[in-house]
Structure formats: structure tokens, C-alpha cells
């Protein structure tokens, strides 16, 4: 004996609409979690690499549609400094341009130059030309390993207080009288010394600090379990 039942079109439409609504809600919530999670993991990579909050915060995330719910939402996570992120993600090699033979990598001895009017970013390490002007002498060179050169100046060392009150080494131009001989300052004797300013190298390879693909794969793998939990919570 056959049995059957009949569901009106209006009632069936209501059921499917309710189901679609739950799916859209769970999908959208899932994509919100994935967007925030991936963005956070990529920011953590920058911070763990010791590259600061400014670069870390260039990672941004958006969920589409921006408002409302969708059965097929999308996440878009991106950096506002893509060249820097890409360079440290791939560990690229840097080479001189414009016919130059060497890259000049500043040491911690290079003074900072105040940024010009309207230039953001505070201060930057002086360039070789700026160092020569600042100390009023040409850079001198010593041969190092692996085809590198060390660019140095003759300077007199000293200490200056910082904002935190800790003494930091500073250098100033050595006078002709001070070059190669001691001179008396109070109770201390000082002399001009060679101070390394730049390491000149034909090429430099940036270390690989980030793994953007690994972070993306991790959060793609989280979509299904997060969606399942969100959908179950709506039942």
C-alpha cells in the first residue's frame, strides 16, 4: 500500500529559505573568523621576526560582501607594503643598480639624519655621501672577506645620554691634531680611531623571515571545521 504526503510550494519555499539563511549566516561568520585569524597570524610573523608593529599593521583583512550575509562569502587579506613582505617572504637577493658596483649597508655607527620637511618616517641612517659631509672627510676602505669592503672614517668616540638615560656611543670628526695621536681631555686621554660606517658588498640576500603561503594554507584548512561548528550552533 503506497503512502505519500504533499507539501505546498509556499511551505517548501519557506523551508529552503530558512536553510539558506542558516547556511549564509554560518558561511559569513566562518569567513569573518578566517579573515581575522589569517591577518593575525601574518602580523605575528612580522612581530616575531623583530620587524615592528608598523610593518605588522600593514596587514589588513576584508570580508566580502562587506555588509550582510552570503552563502558564498570571500576573504581578502593583503599588505599595504607588498614589496617588503614579498622580499622577506621569498628571501630575495638584492643587487646594485644604476651601474653601482656595491651595496652600502650601514652599521650601527652611522648617525641618523633627520627626515626633511614633509617627509614621514622620522629619521634614517645617513647615506655614504651624507656621512662624508657630516664628518668632513672622505670614507676610507679596507678589504674584507667574500669580495666585501669596509668603509670607515677617523673619528673620536664619546657617549651621549638617551631618552632613557642610558649612555650611547657617539662619534665626532677627528681634528688633524687628534689623528693618530693622543690628546688630553680632563683626566682622560683619547685618540682618533677607525670607525666602520658601511659594509660594501656586491650583493646581499635577505633572510626568509615570513611564510605567507603556510599561513594561508593553515586557515584554508580551518574553513570546513569552523563552518561545521557555526552551522551546528544555529540548529
Beta bridge pairs of residue 69: none
pLDDT in the model for residue 3: 54
| Averaged pLDDT for residues 113-121 | 58
pTM (2 d.p.): 0.65
DSSP category for residue 95: -
Residue linked to cell 597570524: 41
- Burial class of residue 26, CB neighbours in 10 A (0-12, 13-18, 19+): buried
* Cβ pair 14, 226 in contact under 8 A: no
Is the per-residue pLDDT at 128 higher than 70? yes
Preceding peptide of 169 cis, ω within 30°: no
- Residue 7: pLDDT band (50, 70, 90) is low
| Averaged pLDDT for residues 54-76 | 96
pLDDT in the model for residue 146: 82
- Residue 120: pLDDT band (50, 70, 90) is low
Amino acid at each position: 500500500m503506497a503512502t505519500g504526503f504533499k507539501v505546498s510550494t509556499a511551505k517548501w519555499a519557506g523551508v529552503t529559505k530558512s536553510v539558506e539563511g542558516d547556511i549564509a549566516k554560518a558561511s559569513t561568520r566562518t569567513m569573518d573568523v578566517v579573515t581575522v585569524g589569517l591577518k593575525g597570524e601574518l602580523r605575528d610573523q612580522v612581530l616575531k621576526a623583530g620587524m615592528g608593529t608598523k610593518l605588522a599593521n600593514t596587514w589588513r583583512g576584508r570580508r566580502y560582501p562587506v555588509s550582510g550575509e552570503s552563502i558564498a562569502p570571500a576573504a581578502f587579506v593583503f599588505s599595504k607594503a607588498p614589496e617588503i613582505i614579498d622580499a622577506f617572504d621569498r628571501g630575495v637577493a638584492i643587487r646594485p643598480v644604476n651601474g653601482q658596483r656595491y651595496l652600502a649597508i650601514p652599521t650601527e655607527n652611522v648617525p641618523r639624519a633627520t627626515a626633511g620637511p614633509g617627509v614621514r618616517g622620522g629619521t634614517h641612517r645617513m647615506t655614504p655621501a651624507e656621512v662624508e659631509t657630516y664628518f668632513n672627510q672622505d670614507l676610507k676602505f679596507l678589504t674584507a672577506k667574500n669580495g666585501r669592503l669596509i668603509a670607515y672614517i677617523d673619528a673620536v668616540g664619546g657617549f651621549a645620554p638617551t631618552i632613557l638615560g642610558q649612555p650611547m656611543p657617539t662619534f665626532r670628526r677627528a681634528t688633524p691634531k687628534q689623528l693618530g695621536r693622543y690628546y688630553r681631555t680632563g683626566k682622560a686621554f683619547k685618540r682618533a680611531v677607525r670607525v666602520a660606517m658601511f659594509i660594501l658588498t656586491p650583493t646581499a640576500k635577505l633572510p626568509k623571515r615570513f611564510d605567507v603561503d603556510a599561513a594561508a594554507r593553515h586557515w584554508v584548512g580551518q574553513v570546513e571545521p569552523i563552518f561545521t561548528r557555526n552551522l551546528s550552533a544555529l540548529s
